[in-house]
Amino acid sequence: MKTIIHLDTIEKRFAEAVVVPPLSLTIEEGEFLTLLGPSGCGKTTLLRMIAGFEEPTSGDIFLDGKPLGHVPPYQRDMNMVFQQYALFPHMNVEQNILFGLKMKKVNAAEQKRRLEEVLQYVQLTELRKRTPKQLSGGQQQRVAIARAIINNPRVLLLDEPLGALDYQLRKSLQLELKNLQKNLGITFIYVTHDQEEAMAMSDRIAVMNKGRIEQIASPAEIYNTPQTLFVATFIGENNIFRQASTCTAVRPEKIKLYRTDEQPGKHRCKGKITDAVFLGNLRKVFIRLDGQDQVVMAHQYAGDGLDWQVDDLVAIGWSQADEVKLPC
């Protein structure tokens, strides 16, 4: 794997506020990297620094080993898909898509060839003469992507590109985007606050919090072996058991429920069920531990024949291998 982008201890401050404390990050060529974090965690600022819309207060960004320093956005070999698409309202689909090639003065024949190719690729051939206003949200999104990829950028930056769409459409576009990335072989840097989206699409996820990267790893690693308390609780659901200076995280689906008289050797704690929520494929059971304030969440898969009721007294247990030890 070859490094395509390297962030070398870049920092961003606005006035006195530190938005991104010094941070380094290496992005491999052809990978789908997601910057995931709650709003205000600095992920968009990081993306905008890579694109060149914000200048790092210190540190430098390298593309293919060359420092980008003061290189303006229009000379960086990457393109961005904006959150609200930012399609030009006074141009039709075709003119929007061709904008980049026109600005780079690509010859007309080449422009036409690439236009047809891209239009077909994103299935917009029929709509080529429409203006953005005459398109649905999903269609506008396709135009935004077509407008970026027609330039054959080295890197595609995507700032919550699915944020404005409804749930069903988002789901199907997630897969489309992932396939697009695989087929084109372009490096994707994708910003989102939606962990499900990040899980579904990414090769690697960088979980961000307060401007810092808490952990950067594959979705499975992030989920199974979180390295910080923030990652453990931000990604999916988790039970955190505090003991002195260490925390133990156990996923709800790893927690087993027993009747108090059943297999006493596997019990860890006892408690009373305070809530049981049926969600179709699983049942979320909430247990208040005896003598403690803590409520533990356990996912019981529907069809296991057990029917837990509120106020039942239960014992819980889990296997040692499912524990994740975290500093806290």
Which one of 73, 175, 196, 292 is in contact with another protein (CB under 8 A)?
73
Phi, psi (deg, nearest 5) at residue 309: -115, 155
The nearer residue to another protein, 92 or 141, going by C-beta atoms, is 92
Q: CA–CA separation, 235 vs 246, rounded Å?
A: 19
- Residue 79 binds another protein, judged by CB under 8 A: yes
Binding range to another protein, per CB under 8 A, among 76-84, 206-214, 263-271, 287-295? 76-84
- 40-69: which residues touch another protein (CB under 8 A)? 51, 53
Q: How far is the CB of 72 from another protein (least distance, A)?
A: 7
Contacts of residue 77, defined as CB under 8 A and 6 or more positions apart, other chains included, come to 63, 153, 154, 155
The nearer residue to another protein, 70 or 133, going by C-beta atoms, is 133
The nearer residue to another protein, 72 or 305, going by C-beta atoms, is 72
Which one of 6, 18, 21, 86 is in contact with another protein (CB under 8 A)?
86
- 147-176: which residues touch another protein (CB under 8 A)? 147-148, 151
The nearer residue to another protein, 62 or 99, going by C-beta atoms, is 99
The nearer residue to another protein, 110 or 237, going by C-beta atoms, is 110
Helices (H) and strands (E) in the chain, counts: 8, 18
The three-class DSSP label of residue 101 is helix
Contact status, residue 250 vs residue 239, Cβ threshold 8 Å? yes
DSSP class of residue 311? T
- Residue 131 binds another protein, judged by CB under 8 A: yes
Phi, psi (deg, nearest 5) at residue 241: -105, 120
Q: How far is the CB of 131 from another protein (least distance, A)?
A: 6
The nearer residue to another protein, 55 or 253, going by C-beta atoms, is 55
* Cα-Cα end-to-end distance for the chain: 35
- Residue 127 binds another protein, judged by CB under 8 A: no
- Residue 14 binds another protein, judged by CB under 8 A: no
Burial of residue 229 (CB within 10 Å: 0-12, 13-18, 19+) is: middle
Q: E-assigned strands of the chain?
A: 3-14, 17-28, 32-36, 58-63, 66-67, 78-81, 155-159, 187-192, 204-209, 212-217, 239-243, 246-250, 256-259, 269-278, 282-289, 295-301, 313-317, 324-327
# residues contacting another protein (CB under 8 A): 25
- Residue 306 binds another protein, judged by CB under 8 A: no
Which one of 9, 24, 38, 103 is in contact with another protein (CB under 8 A)?
103
Which candidate, 156, 87, 154, places its Cα nearest to that of 124? 87
Long-range contacts (CB closer than 8 Å, 24 or more residues apart) made by 290-294: 294/241
Which one of 23, 68, 80, 145 is in contact with another protein (CB under 8 A)?
80
Phi-psi map region of 15: left, alpha, beta (phi>0 left; psi -120 to 50 alpha): left
Q: How far is the CB of 144 from another protein (least distance, A)?
A: 9
Q: How far is the CB of 73 from another protein (least distance, A)?
A: 4
- Residue 82 binds another protein, judged by CB under 8 A: yes
Contacts of residue 228, defined as CB under 8 A and 6 or more positions apart, other chains included, come to 214, 215, 326, 327
- Residue 100 binds another protein, judged by CB under 8 A: yes
Binding range to another protein, per CB under 8 A, among 59-67, 95-103, 261-269, 281-289? 95-103
Instruction: Give me the residues that bind another protein (CB under 8 A), please.
Output: 51, 53, 72-75, 79-80, 82, 84, 86-90, 92, 99-100, 103-104, 131, 133, 147-148, 151
